[in-house]
Chains A and B, each alone.
Chain A
Amino acid sequence: MWRYVARRLLQMVPVLLMVTMMVYSLMLAIPGDPARALVGPGESLDEEQLALIRKEHHLDEPMIVQYGIWLSRALSGDLGRSTQNQRPVAEELRTRAAVTLQFGIVAWIFAVLIAVPAGIVSAVYRGKAVDYVATILSIGGVAIPNFWLGVMSILLFGVKLGWLPAQGYVDITEDPIEGLRHMALPAFALGITSCALIMRQSRSAMLEVLAQDYVRTARAKGLRAFQVIWIHALRNALLPVVTVFGLQTGRIFAGAVVIETLFGIPGMGQFMVQAIFARDFMAVQGAVLVMALAVLIANLATDLVYAWLDPRIRYDE
């Protein structure tokens, strides 16, 4: 196991380098003079000032040197300054990452809490009405645009019924009830795809388990159906949750960009979209880097948890 962990960490190094290179190379996609893009719009600069900016960002150096300087700065936590408010991008991202993290976790918990029991019930009552309803919902959940579901839930619960706030954000750690009330609709919209995928996977995992000998043995020795399902089989139904987590972290972040914008949640995603409209390139680049690294770490964590949960998987050759 430890050898596997060490090998996995070692493999991360080249991947990490390539990820930073890809983020940096976004700069290459800027048409025209990158110096102008770095200061943002609305600033009229003469040649002398532009030359100064080029020097400051080492734009006159060869590409590989520029990248090296950018990387070493990024490693020490310097992602440049936002042209919107002149604050350091890293500082801004830290506050907003906390919001996005909270939002993502609530969405994730919501997805798991609905999907796992639904998947189990659907497997236990296979072929019954409950199973059909759950299956239809899980098929629909993957195809529905999450932001549109957000819009529709605003229409129903916010506009028509007026039960839940349709905009804004309250920190859950400060006011749990209001926080959750504000989080309910966005978390529902963000979590729906993951929810559908987990439901589908835990249903098939559960079906497989229910056909196993040890479940039959447990039943034969007189355990109640309830005990058999929740004690013996649940552990196995949880494995797909881990798999889906690995596959979905990236999509949760991507989804957060849209859902935060829709619901006015001041997270990294909203920051990114605002930065695009403000032509604040460094801010977008920093946010893309942070999100990509978060996905990378989540993927690693998934592999490790998986190895730990499922002893059948042998990683040491």
Chain B
Amino acid sequence: MSDLAADATMQKPRHPAMQVLVKVLAIPQAAFGVVIIALTLLAAVSAPLIVPYDAEAMDFDNLLTGFTSSHWLGTDQMGRDTLARLIVGAQVALMVSLGAVGIGVVLGVPLGLAAVYFRGFVDDIIMRMMDALVVFPSLLIAVGLAAAMGGSLGTVILAIGIANVPWMARVIRSQGLTIRELDYVAAAEAGGMSHLRIIFAHILPNSVAPVIVQSTLSMGYAVLTEAALGFIGVGIQPPTPTWGNMLQQAFPMLDQQPMLSVVPGLAIFVLVLAFNFVGDGLRDVLDPRLKGVIH
């Protein structure tokens, strides 16, 4: 680590994001994570070009084929190509994780910042609300919403996103509390800077590191939740393939074609592992003090 830091100072200054990336890539697990996420993203974005078959097209001449040269990852009980469905499922997994974390950041960060900056009554109200919200695991919110309005991509993203809000607010608040007390904030206040400008020019930029770490780890958790919802049938509905509903449809075929259950599960496992590795790596690089604070 110290060698790396020395290298970084000797080279000509690079963009901070670039510096972080270089340090993260130097950690083997995190590098593995970055590669996996990049490959998944690439597959998802270029899906229309690379899917070998239409993910929803049935082929009753080729049912439950197992791994073959024409269907690399086999077909399901309706003859649909597993590889194609896996790639389209990757799109869904990434949309859900990005969307859910986006909602968490967009709502949670301003709430946390307001709590930090205004303190007192505002802080109490906001944080008690977060205490109440944190009681609901994302799956529970999703199940409740699915009961009210039915399962869909929107419901799933909204539910997981809402569950992310209190964690983001807490993370930015605990980081912001220290910054709030620093002299330059007092100086800005004395200089007559507006609340909003102080929050966005001083407190936010210095509280951003833990939010990045928390976001990365939350993405992995979002992938897990989406899969669980799909598996019990209350998430995104077929025919749209998701890794969760692929596992649901594969389950009755478990003794005939176990690979149908193995493949999507492995995909989920590896992608979540990748998000966790990158999150841990970012934490170690951006702020080693956070070890143990963010789970």
Q: What residues make up the interface of A, taking CB atoms closer than 8 Å to B?
A: 11, 14-16, 18-19, 22-23, 26-27, 29-31, 37, 139-140, 142-148, 151-152, 154-155, 159, 197, 204, 247, 250-251, 253-255, 257-258, 261-262, 272-273, 275-277, 279-281, 284-285, 288, 291-292, 295-296, 299
Contact = CB atoms under 8 A, between A and B. Distances in A.
B138 A15 contact: no
Given A19-B132, A140-B273, A143-B276, A151 B140 contact: no
Given A275-B147, A284-B147, A288-B144, A143 B220 contact: yes
Given A18-B128, A154-B254, A276-B146, A258 B232 contact: yes
Nearest to B291: A204
Contacts of B262: 152
Contact of A292 (B136, B227, B234, B261): B136
29 contacts: A22-B136, A29-B149, A139-B273, A139-B276, A140-B273, A142-B276, A144-B269, A145-B224, A145-B228, A145-B265, A147-B227, A147-B228, A147-B231, A148-B247, A151-B251, A154-B254, A250-B134, A253-B140, A254-B138, A254-B139, A255-B228, A257-B140, A258-B228, A272-B143, A276-B146, A276-B147, A281-B147, A284-B143, A284-B144
Nearest to A14: B128
A148 B132 contact: no
Contacts of B128: 11, 14-15, 18
Interface of B: 128-129, 131-140, 143-149, 220, 224, 227-228, 231-234, 247, 251, 254-255, 258, 261-262, 265, 268-269, 272-273, 276, 292, 295
A151 B273 contact: no
B132 A15 contact: yes
Nearest to A273: B232
6 nearest interchain CB pairs?
A18-B132, A148-B265, A254-B139, A284-B147, A254-B137, A29-B148
A15 B251 CA distance: 40
Nearest to A292: B135
A14 B131 CA distance: 10
A151 B247 contact: yes
B6 to A, nearest CB: 26
A147 B243 CA distance: 13
B143 A257 contact: yes
Contacts of A151: 247, 251, 254, 261, 265
Contacts of A22: 132-133, 136
A187 B140 CA distance: 20
From B135, B137, B220, B255, name the one whose CB has the most chain A CB atoms within 10 angstroms. Answer: B135
A281 B251 CA distance: 27
B140 A292 contact: yes
A212 to B, nearest CB: 18
B255 A159 contact: yes
A257 B224 contact: no
Contacts of A280: 147
B261 A295 contact: no
From B128, B138, B140, B231, name the one whose CB has the most chain A CB atoms within 10 angstroms. Answer: B140
Given A250-B135, A250-B136, A253-B140, A197 B295 contact: yes
Given A143-B272, A152-B265, A291 B140 contact: yes
A37 to B, nearest CB: 8
Contacts of A139: 273, 276
Nearest to A18: B132
Contacts of A23: 144
A31 B154 CA distance: 14
Given A159-B255, A275-B147, 5 more contacts: A16-B132, A145-B269, A254-B138, A257-B140, A288-B136
A26 B145 contact: yes
Contacts of A204: 292
A296 B135 contact: yes
B33 to A, nearest CB: 11
Contact of B143 (A16, A18, A146, A288): A288
A66 to B, nearest CB: 15
A207 to B, nearest CB: 13
A65 to B, nearest CB: 20
